[in-house]
Chain A
């Protein structure tokens, strides 16, 4: 969602409070200072999760009531997030390539990556969060990752919930 706020102190909270009040889970906030509007307003891009459409409706109504101008609203339904571990020579087998191969699936994105480099000569570990638009794409991403892991001799540890 993009909302336009006056560039004066205390405006951001006006836009966030209704989201929090109705149970929205804010994932990221980005000020787009370089895109200031001719009227001097500041676009703020927000990413948040809602449980259902009713919750979104209540948030939008509350924002309107608070005088916050919403200029863009994009929805993505039912995002599936899978956390996996990779153990092996994760870096040396080109982790960039591994990630690119997953991101190449439309609707799939590696959204988080944490590395723990093992001591000299030992294997490293990586934790990856893979976001997918739906369950089918999530499964496709996991099976692609499985075949990459096989080729690169990495141990793939998936979640019990992804079985």
Chain B
């Protein structure tokens, strides 16, 4: 399968590493031979229709911070042009998220669909801003559209809901969907340390962004709830429909009081047809959502299976490549591969 990768940060590199490390496995078990024919980053692009040498590309990108330095790389070459010009089956759209405009990811995805290329993305921006539009465009163009990595990182939230649980009516999805805030709350509760100090440490460990506002104020979780509401519950929800309260006001004392009553404070997102909400909640110890550290956890309320919960790592390039690769294999099989 001929693949274009747009965005070569942690996730772009992560999926390439998975292609290299799992080449034999993918061929043997799934009959899949991914051939990366173009990679675009913020500085430019590199194209080779015969297939790029991924170990070499990864090495170049590590040392010079851009793919442009790879043999034949073109500075200033734009993603939209690559999508138009390069003959490929599928595009990975892995650029940074912009939750207001969805750009540049939104433009990339639309262009790829119009060009008849299948799309896999981890980018929450386009999904939050224009889910319905993209979903219909994919159907109209007859291309596959997958976005498992946008919610839950490695945890197969969307795939589980849309595939394995498809015989159920899902009445509610609730989950701990942001690893950064879960890490902060877990440490506040264990050590009684103020939030600002833990945030600073989390930033040093690479667990929190330089500007952690989107995480702390619950916006990241709200984006995921919007995506789940649209993709799983079939709603037409916007980010502004989600009632959001973050964890900024949670103090170590509050976590202690919770703990004394056998509870933990978790930032929980809830998607129900009559309620979209993100807020700190008391979760009893031992409850499926009472997961610690950077873990994510999701519970589905269902008519047949009653309740199903899953938990796992919600972030990290290697972990997230599990979802990206899963989407690719899924598309490969659905195309008869």
Contact = CB atoms under 8 A, between A and B. Distances in A.
A129 B263 CA distance: 13
B118 to A, nearest CB: 38
Contacts of A123: 249, 251
Interface in A108-126: 114, 116-118, 122-126
- Interface extent on B, as a size class? 20 to 34
A112 to B, nearest CB: 9
Contact of B254 (A83, A87, A159, A160): A87
A85 B254 contact: yes
B174 A163 contact: yes
A125 B289 contact: no
Interface in A124-160: 124-127, 129, 155, 157-160
A150 B212 CA distance: 26
Contacts of A157: 250, 254, 258, 265, 279-282
Nearest to A85: B254
Contacts of B283: 159-160
Given A88-B249, A158-B282, A160-B281, A127 B268 contact: no
B249 A87 contact: yes
Contacts of B260: 114, 127
B284 A161 contact: yes
Contacts of B289: 160
Interface residues of A, number: 23
Contact of A160 (B245, B249, B282): B282
Interface string A84-124: 11011000000000000000000000000010111000111
A159 B284 CA distance: 8
B261 A83 contact: yes
A158 B268 CA distance: 11
Contacts of B158: none
Nearest to B258: A85
A80 to B, nearest CB: 15
Consensus secondary structure, chain A interface: strand
Contact of A125 (B253, B270, B279, B282): B253
B287 interface: yes
A117 B253 CA distance: 8
B253 A160 contact: no
Interface in B140-185: 174
B287 A85 contact: no
B281 A158 contact: yes
Nearest to A122: B251
A114 B174 CA distance: 28
Contacts of A87: 249-251, 254
B263 A159 contact: yes
Nearest to A124: B253
Contact of A126 (B174, B257, B284, B287): B257
B111 interface: no
Contacts of A160: 174, 266, 268, 281-284, 287, 289
Contact of A118 (B174, B245, B251, B280): B251
A118 B195 CA distance: 14
B270 A163 contact: yes
Contacts of A124: 253
A152 B280 CA distance: 18
Given A85-B254, A114-B257, A127-B261, A155 B287 contact: no
Contacts of A159: 263, 281-284
Contacts of B254: 85, 87, 116, 125, 157
Contact of A85 (B174, B270, B282): B282
Given A122-B251, A155-B249, A159-B281, 12 more contacts: A85-B265, A87-B254, A88-B249, A114-B257, A125-B251, A125-B254, A127-B258, A157-B250, A157-B265, A160-B266, A160-B282, A161-B284
Interface of A: 83-85, 87-88, 114, 116-118, 122-127, 129, 155, 157-161, 163
Nearest 4 A-B pairs (CB), nearest first? A116-B253, A127-B257, A125-B254, A159-B282
